Structure 1
Amino acid sequence: MSYKNILLIDDDPEDAEIFEEAVKALNREVKLQWAGNPERALDELQSAEQLPDLIFLDYNMPRINGGELLGKLKSIQRLSVIPVILISTPSEEFMKLKLDQNEIIKFFSKPNSYSELIAILDSIL
């Protein structure tokens, strides 16, 4: 599938900046939006005219983690159809459960290098 409008939900602005640079480096016509506050992201998604084609969701965030936000996204019919890729460090068992429940389409740990991030994004986008 071709993803042209993606949303990154990650509370770390440095990680978001690196993610944005990696997306741009792929030279694809992809529009990336970043949300640093998961609660605000959920509110904005509920009222958005155009929904993203794909959400990259960080797991480790304060106040509401990625797993909790994922549950909220999947409980809202309009948002439940958006494919989600979970990023970060929860256990592999947790990630496989979410895959089996069709709540996410993929997961990966935050890469240790920029080139690794580009390779992961290239395989997805």
Structure 2
Amino acid sequence: MADPVIQTEDQDWAAICASAELGDEEMLTARVGEWQILMVRSGDGLSAFNDCCPHQSARLSTGRLRRGAIMCPLHGARFDIGSGRCVGAGYAPLLRMPIRERNGIIEVAPPQRSPAPDEIPKDA
């Protein structure tokens, strides 16, 4: 079960796409402000993360989604799609963002700050 992401009324929600654009067991990326966002839909629901591996800043969206985990394309670390926790290695968890579906639209609330240098994905 995923750790809850606290949602508050003062968050700035960004409409990303129609709900139908993100199928089950699929990943989709979007940019909101300075944030690169990776969204995942699975049987457990929707999750949104910063599209950046905490190990070496690889863009996770270029990796694979497999058995409930996002696999880093650079070093193969696996991150649980519900919680963002690293599975089987000691890397930091992914930065999770609040995500919701309203009226057939997927919305994400990215942090209300700029990403730190190590939170910006490096393009391969």
More strand by share: 2
TM-score by length of 2: 0.26
More helix by share: 1
